[in-house]
Amino acid sequence: MIDFELTEAQQNIKEFLHWFAKNKMRPISLQADKEGDVPREFLTDVMGLGISSGDVFLGEAEAGEVVRDDQGRSQKARISMIASEELAWGDPALIISFPGPGLGAPPVKILGTPEQKKRFFEIFKDKSEPRWGAYALTEPGAGSDAAAISTTAVKNGDHYILNGRKCFITNGARASWIVVFATVDPKLGRDGHRVFVVEKGTPGFYPGRIEEKMGLRASETAELIFEECRVAIENLLGGEEYYEVKAKEGFKAAMKTFDATRPIVGAMAVGIARASYEIVKDWAKENNLFTSLLPRFRGLRDSLNYMEREIDAARLLCWRAAWMIDEELPNSKEAAMAKVYAAQVVANVTSKAIEIMGVHGCLWENLVEKLYRDQKVYDIFEGTGQIQRIIISRRIFESM
């Protein structure tokens, strides 16, 4: 049974992260957006407080490390929901710039050998310099259709030779290592997928264009290029024998990653929506709009009612998907529902906030304008809204 009551420990985490979001993230949010970069001092603060993208997005930074409650039940996904909402409330671009393994962590945990997990996670214990991991699946010709990747991996002695391009990779240019999906034979479809960890400085691998984006401007989004890139066989996650026994495991690792991260993306969208709602509510109060008897101001109350109701509904969908992760239950449908609904909610809430505030909401110095730009990608990355609806439909028909 899902329990929506936060434990004392969870409430303490929530309050601490809200303090951090309010006092460390909000003050630099607009400036970081304009400059398109994250201040070094902020990254130092993040590491000094022990916050990492591995912890924020997964509830665990190391393989096998799980947060549990007094009854021994896993709490890692629930904590990820709390953290993602609070920190996205602070600034959604800064949260995805936190040092740590980030989205690269799930495939390493799912597929990696004990030696690989130790090797690739070990570097994040050193807090003297910020380090990132990254996840590279998307290609110019393979976005929503992950099975259509064309980056090739050809065995050559004790190495694989990778050729291809990846695009829209978060923290890709600065990552210490990147989880890269490639195919040993495009004709094999999903059976041909292999998952490699490509380390920074590997010959034949280099970053390409850093994207200029409408939203999340402070975060790094990079093109990655592989030209005769020699990757040691030791960097094939799971080892060759693993794929001989379980041919589709490379593709499944990508899908399992999404099942874990889509509720987190939904929770971040909830945080953005909540921030917009609180800003417009305070603005309306400061301008005495609640005291007017004119019909348009009665409509304002209806709009705020709608915004809060939708935010709560989206949050509960995210928490349900997270609860299923903690209970080790299949959650593909619920993860897709959480993401697609939260993306719709944040789009509607930020749009209504701009509508209510009028020209004031469109000014660059107003956080609502930035949040309106930031939210658009939440219906795109980690699987578009259209793809989520397909997943939901498939799961419904499978259960009939």
User: Please, what is the angle between helix 295-326 and helix 249-286, to 10°?
Assistant: 150
* Closest alpha carbon to 221 in 298, 144, 167: 167
Q: Which of 60, 139, 334, 382 is catalytic?
A: 382
Q: Tell me whether residue 382 is one of the annotated catalytic residues.
A: yes
Backbone phi, psi, residue 98, to 5°? -60, 135
Mode of pairing for the β-strands spanning 193-199 and 221-232: unpaired
Cα radius of gyration rounded to whole Å, the chain = 21
Distances (CA, A) of 298 to 55, 157, 274, 278, 351: 43, 73, 21, 18, 18
Distances (CA, A) of 104 to 64, 109, 253, 344, 362: 16, 9, 11, 26, 36
* Closest alpha carbon to 313 in 288, 291, 337, 285: 337
Report the distance separating Cα 371 and Cα 375, nearest Å: 6
User: Which residues are tagged catalytic?
Assistant: 382
